[in-house]
Structure 1
């Protein structure tokens, strides 16, 4: 196979919508959507503010098989409200994880995945959105005792706000180079702290700080993949095969405190953080 054939064989994960992303990860012919558009689960709050609703509220929940094993995927649709999480969309994610936990408690294995593409809580549903994000956090922690919970961040929206905490709680994170991960998005930082603090238009700077390659290099994500659905699927399968770790990243408090103690805020750049991570890992 030559380079041209390889390029043709790849299928962009980023260019897919949430439904297509979920379908691309599951074994062919096993995709089955739960609470889909025809169930008409819409936000009761957006219409009050003259915002057109979406019949799945921007989250696709699918059952199927991954490498022959039962799987469930909650995929966030970036094209609807920037992937923001509201009462209904968040409840679909939390409910999918809680049902996966019930499967394990009944003696049936299942592989849970979350496809992140979100700016965080939906401002129009702030308190309700925050509450349901907390439910997502609790569900991940409860479920990951039994099975790896795999998070995948594609791009280009990335993963920010309260959902970045959900991503951090996942057993393993898979990111493309184009993906971004952070508590606050660059535009929010620039808006609140000013252009002197951060120029959100400086794409090279932004991706060097919070892009997929940097996050994997500094241990905040686990696997870096190219923008190819096949690579994303292979990375997810490999993550499940590694099983539940002895200690999840979110429990490695002392290690992170030791790294932070070595950081000089007055003189910090992405390369220093990479060196710090690798030095601490030795």
Structure 2
């Protein structure tokens, strides 16, 4: 296949909404949505603050199979409130993960796929959102004892705040060129440290530090895929069949702390310094 033909055969994953992304990963005919928009389970807090709520609270929960293996998918809709997590959406994700863990304890092997397109906690729901994200973290740690929890960060909304911790707890994490991943978003860093330290409008600079390619090069994620639904599905399928990793990334904290201790914070950091820092001494 020529390069042109290959490009024409690609189907963008980034351009899909949350529901379409979930369907694109699952085997044909196996998609079954739980608490869909017709159930009208939505945030009771947004309308009180003048924000129009969404019938699924910006989170799609779907069950089905990938390569014949049973999975549950939690897909965040980045177009609704920046993919932020509130009381309802957080409870939906945490509940889905908890039920998957219970399935495993009952002899039904169920893995989880988290499609993360989120700025973190929903500010309008503050502590309720934080509590829900904490439940998500606990549920991921529980489920990953049995089956892989696979995170995918694909679009430019990225994955930030408490949900970036959820990403770090995943058994495997996949990103694209368009993705971003970080604990604090660019605007928050600029607000706290100043524009001289971090210019949130400098997109090349932002992506050079927190973009998908950089995060893969520094070993903070496990896979890097082109923006193609088939390519992303293929990598997810490989990890599902591979099973649990030999060691969770969150269990390697001593290694990462050792490398971070070598960082010189007196000068402006640059992408190559980040790579050298995280890659460590090469054999």
Provide the residue aligned with 2:20 in structure 1: 20
Mapping 1:145-160, distance limit 5 Å: 145-160=145-160
> What residue ranges of structure 2 are gaps of 5+ in the alignment?
none
Contact 2:209 2:274 in 1 (8 A): no
- Give the whole-Å Cα distance in 1 for the aligned partners of 2:97 and 2:280: 36
Instruction: Report the counterpart of residue 106 of structure 2 in structure 1.
Output: 106
Query: For 2:99, what is the secondary structure of its paired residue?
Result: helix
Report the CA distance between 1:143 and its aligned residue.
Answer: 0.5
Counterparts of 1:206-225 in structure 2 under 5 Å?
206-225=206-225
Q: 1 CA distance for matches of 2:280 and 2:51?
A: 50
Match in the other structure for 2:42? 42
**DSSP 3-state at the match of 1:124:** coil
Distance across 1 between alignment mates of 2:282 and 2:92 = 37
1:50 Cα deviation (Å)? 1.4
Q: Match for residue 278 of structure 2?
A: 277
Aligned residues of 1:66 and 1:111 also touching (Cα < 8 A): no
Question: After superposition, what is the alpha-carbon deviation per residue over 1:84-129, rounded to whole angstroms, capped at 9, x for unaligned?
Answer: 0000000000011001001100101112110000000000000000
Corresponding residue for residue 250 of structure 2 = 250
Gaps of 5+ in 1: none
Q: Post-superposition, which runs of at least 4 consecutive aligned residues in structure 1 deviate over 4 A?
A: none
Q: May I ask how many residue pairs the two structures share in their alignment?
A: 282
Relative to the length of structure 1, the TM-score reads: 0.97
What is the aligned-residue RMSD (CA, Å)? 1.2
Say if 1:90 and 1:8 are closer, same or farther in 2 by CA, change over 3 A. same
Q: 1:278 to 1:192 in 2, by over 3 A?
A: closer
Aligned counterpart, 2:264: 264
How far apart in 2 are the matches of 1:188 and 1:261? 23
Matched, 1:191 2:191: yes
- More divergent stretch after superposition (154-163 vs 184-193): 184-193
Residue 20 of structure 1: SS of its match in structure 2?
helix
Tell me by how many angstroms 1:257 deviates: 1.7
Q: Within 5 Å, which residues of 2 pair with 1:14-93?
A: 14-93=14-93
Q: Given the alignment of the two structures, is residue 128 of structure 1 paired with residue 144 of structure 2, yes or no?
A: no
| Contact 2:259 2:280 (8 Å CA) reproduced | no
- TM-score in terms of structure 2 length: 0.97
Q: Distance in 2 between matches of 1:46 and 1:163?
A: 20
In structure 2, distance between residues paired with 1:183 and 1:281: 27
